[in-house]
Amino acid sequence: MATRASTRTDDAPEGAASLSRPRLAQSAAGPSLGSTPMRLRESRGPWTWMISAARLGCRNGVIVPRAVPAWHAPGVSANVRGDNGAGYVGDLKRQHYVEIPHDRLPCVAFGESRAGAAHSVYLERHEGVSIGGARVFRWTSAWTRYARLGHMTYPEYDHAGQDLFLHQALLDLCTPDGKLSPVQITLATRPLIKRIEAEASREGPHARALIAQMAAQLPAEHVPDSVHAILRRLEIELTTDTDK
């Protein structure tokens, strides 16, 4: 697993942008998509990811926090005009959520470092046009990008990269020593384990495919004997998206 990341802005590489939540939504520049803009739907706007030490799940073989987007738009939750999401962020902090800083490094998306990203290391703003031809902006995570096929615009995703970023943020921001506690491991894995065990009582290719899909989400070191027995009986080999 990657070494623990620093959340200090002075640890960023020389030349990286010093990013913060209040400055994020004030940036006017957007990435160029070429001479012919892509057709996109406008989104709600930027957000700040908030994570909890107790709201966990498993994806692609790693334990990840179930990140909540604290939208920056005025009128959402406790937000007021001009606070750039501070109201919503503060409301979630009172519920024991932790903010993931927008300048948090290392952050890698599609195999490239996000150091020095224009708006946020984990958000990207895409510029395009609506169906009616109006200029629009669409905010996504940094692990979503758009490509064109003829007149079509379609998204591409780096799920594994996003999950690794969130996993490391969980270790660094929500654990005292960079290690998950037994309680956290149980909270993350138990729902999937119970679903696999329940599905194992059914017959047919659909049940087998569902079990294989769910088992692939569990970290290999946290697959219990009961699930290993089910996989052996059904002749299922564990794989994850990162194996492909």
DSSP string, the chain: -PPPPP--GGGSPTT-----HHHHTT--------SSPEE----S--EEEEE-TT-EEEETTEEEE--EEEE-STTSTT--TTSTTHHHHHHHHTTT-EE--TT-S--EETTEE-TT-SS-SSEEEEEEE-TTS-EEEEEEETTEEEEEETTEEEEEE-HHHHHHHHHHHHHHHH-SSSS--HHHHHHHHHHHHHHHHHHTTS-SHHHHHHHHHHHHHS-GGG--HHHHHHHHHHT-----GGG-
Q: Do residues 163 and 110 both lie within one domain?
A: yes
Q: Do residues 130 and 170 both lie within one domain?
A: yes
Enter the tokens of residue 192.
């999937």
In a domain, 125, yes or no: yes
| Predicted model pTM | 0.79
In a domain, 224, yes or no: yes
In a domain, 2, yes or no: no
pLDDT of residue 181: 97
Specify burial of residue 182 (Cβ count, 10 A radius: 0-12, 13-18, 19+).
Answer: exposed
Starting at the earlier edge strand, list the strands of the sheet with 135-141: 38-39, 123-129, 135-141
In a domain, 102, yes or no: yes
In a domain, 16, yes or no: yes
pLDDT of residue 152: 86
Mean pLDDT for each consecutive 10-residue tract of the chain (244 residues)? Answer: 43 45 49 66 91 96 97 88 87 96 96 95 93 90 93 92 97 95 97 96 90 96 95 84 53
Residue 172: which of 39, 23, 29, 1 has the closest Cα? 1
In order of 57, 181, 221, the CA distances from 186 in angstroms are 10, 9, 13
Q: Do residues 170 and 224 both lie within one domain?
A: no
- Number of domains making up the chain: 2
Q: Is 66 left (phi over 0), alpha (psi -120 to 50) or beta?
A: beta
What span, in angstroms and rounded, lies between the C-alpha atoms of 46 and 37? 20
In a domain, 3, yes or no: no
What is the span of the domain harbouring residue 103?
9-174
Q: Do residues 155 and 196 both lie within one domain?
A: no
Q: Do residues 104 and 25 both lie within one domain?
A: yes
In a domain, 131, yes or no: yes
Place of tokens 């219990």: 224
Residue where a domain stops, chosen among 150, 174, 198: 174
In a domain, 201, yes or no: yes
Q: Do residues 110 and 52 both lie within one domain?
A: yes
